[in-house]
A and B are shown apart, each in its own frame.
Chain A
Amino acid sequence: MSVGVDVTVWRVVVVALATSAAPASAQWTLRGTGLVSILKHRVDAGYGVEPSSGVVGGSEVTVGAGDRVTVHLVAQAGSLKAQAPGAIARDVAEVAARLDAVTFSWLTLQVGAGHRTYSTLLARQAWSMITVGAEGRLAFSETGVSGTVRGAILPGVWVSGLDRPDLAFTGAAGMEYRPGHAVVALVYALERYRFPAGAGAERREQTAALTLKVGWSLH
């Protein structure tokens, strides 16, 4: 991604967040959510595809100011087992923060940052990421039932030992149910990265996750 595109993206984000700023008298809300994911990780660093998968668990704290601005803090970790000969088991841990700004009732702009580590017997690889995207919401006629579709680009990805990727995006879709103060969601998410060949081979990496979220809101 070029510098010009970077600047344009950040301008859009800043304007969107500024226009969605919560009023001083906004009502604050707090929600705690437990996360359980089936995570499938695939990487090809030029030596063939190395698949691994496992269960990752974590929690999310959401703080809302009014009904327009929300901050999400996520922490999760788990172990992925090798799923093919030659693949290496690894532990994964991640912390992330995201700011949501509701632009329309059906559209939310999102900007976030995260840090992830993959640890194997051989080495530890650190990932730092910045995401910019949007989430669309399809509200069903029944109150509290909705579908969500999310897409984001990652204009900033820094991986230890690797150049920055020339392709990085993430997408997610799922169903969400909010009976009263409870929140239950099932979401499929996909992350794709492609690192340029450089001196070595081209590297491709992907994670796919099915996540069950169960949370409770405090008003």
Chain B
Amino acid sequence: MKGLLVGLALGAILFGPAAAQEGAPDSTAQLLEHAHGLYERLDVERALPLLRRVLSPDWAFPVATAQRVDAYSYLAACLVLLGQGDSAAVYFRAALENDPFTGLDPRRFTPGQLAAFQAARRLTFAVAARPVNVVRVDPRTERLTFTIVTTHAATVQVEVRSADAAVHRELYHGESDGLREIPWDGLAAEGRLVPPGRYELVVDGRSRLLGRSDSAHVYFDVRHQLPALEDTLPDLRPRQLLPEHYPPSAATGDLAKGLGLAAGVALLAVLADRRLGSGDAELPAAVAATATVSGVIAFVWRRRHRDVPENGPANTRRRQERHDANEATRRRNAERIAQTVLLITPASGLGP
């Protein structure tokens, strides 16, 4: 009896982990890894139930799309080895419908499995585009490359559109079979750099074998990165220009200013301390008289000389200088805009 207990204990130590791994895996990845191992050892009969468990609605752990595709592919490969070609085609098609980019490595699968997979591709039609990565693209020297796929020969139209569809450009229209890389230089249809914003890559495909259609969308944001731009100067305002003609009121205004200033001087003199006596009146009087005379002279002069022809060329020169400065600014800004770099980041949809 004692020997039996020791034997059971040793067995538990030696075979316990493997039994636990096979019986109660703690993640989808672990179970798939175990199934792969069985498949590689050609223990297909034991791999099949494990793969079916992953695809079962009762499987309790989360299954990523890549894991689901992997399970479908190995399940189909196992069925090919067991001579169940029709069932294998169903699972290969399921893998392709989940991810049209699915492929079989010729080094790991038999020609029979590859042939079954190709047959499934011909029976399934789907198009897809890989999501874009965060990338910095200098449109002058670099291109953003989109990767699309069709499960078999199809007529494909690939277009980049802004979220509001105001900006668009067709990147490809023609036949395609399998993977295709499509470069984009960041320009819209009219040849201008696309403005910053949310964009989508739209792939529309129509099967040449089945007459079916499919489409795929990839969303991304475009931002511009460029050196800071300079502001141009506003147009010269009237008060920044010399007067070329004076209205009749200018003469009156000058007289009023002279008299007003004389009054101000008189008012200031009134603020003098009366308790210190008087006798300083001639000082403010001199300035008040000067102001009054200045106002009168300005009044008479301006009434006789309303036009100031010499200010015309001076104003023209000022306007030309301002125009030249703004043109120089625009040239510098254009040079900086030409250096714009596009920052591409993936997005989840058309909306924010």
Contact = CB atoms under 8 A, between A and B. Distances in A.
B287 A174 contact: yes
Contact of A147 (B261, B275, B284): B261
Interface string A21-59: 000000000000000001010111000010100000000
A32 B261 CA distance: 26
Given A187-B287, A204-B273, A206-B272, A142 B254 contact: yes
A32 B294 CA distance: 24
Contact of A188 (B273, B279, B287): B287
A162 to B, nearest CB: 16
Interface string B291-334: 10011001001100000000000000000000000000000000
A208 interface: yes
B283 A173 contact: no
Nearest to A39: B283
Contacts, number: 107
A138 B277 contact: no
A63 interface: no
B280 interface: yes
B258 interface: yes
A38 B272 CA distance: 16
A61 interface: no
Most buried by B among A44, A140, A145, A204: A140
Interface stretch (B94-102, B177-185, B262-270): B262-270
A145 B265 contact: no
B264 A140 contact: no
Contact of A141 (B243, B277, B286, B291): B243
B109 interface: no
A145 B258 CA distance: 10
A209 B162 CA distance: 75
B25 interface: no
A157 to B, nearest CB: 16
A130 interface: no
Contact of B268 (A38, A42, A172): A172
Interface string B222-257: 000000000000000001001100100011011001
B interface, size bucket: 35 or more
A188 B284 contact: yes
A175 B273 contact: no
B309 to A, nearest CB: 14
Contacts of B298: 140-142, 145
Nearest to A42: B276
A190 interface: yes
B4 interface: no
A116 interface: no
A44 B280 CA distance: 16
Nearest to A150: B268
Contacts of B277: 42, 49, 51
Interface string B58-84: 000000000000000000000000000
Contacts of A186: 286-287, 290
A188 B283 contact: yes
16 contacts: A44-B275, A49-B276, A51-B276, A142-B254, A149-B264, A171-B268, A171-B271, A173-B265, A173-B287, A173-B291, A186-B286, A190-B269, A190-B271, A192-B271, A192-B273, A210-B287
Given A51-B277, A149-B261, 19 more contacts: A42-B280, A140-B254, A140-B258, A141-B251, A143-B242, A147-B258, A147-B260, A147-B264, A147-B294, A172-B268, A186-B287, A188-B269, A188-B286, A190-B272, A192-B271, A204-B273, A206-B276, A208-B284, A209-B283
3 closest A-B pairs by beta carbon, nearest first, are A147-B261, A188-B287, A210-B283
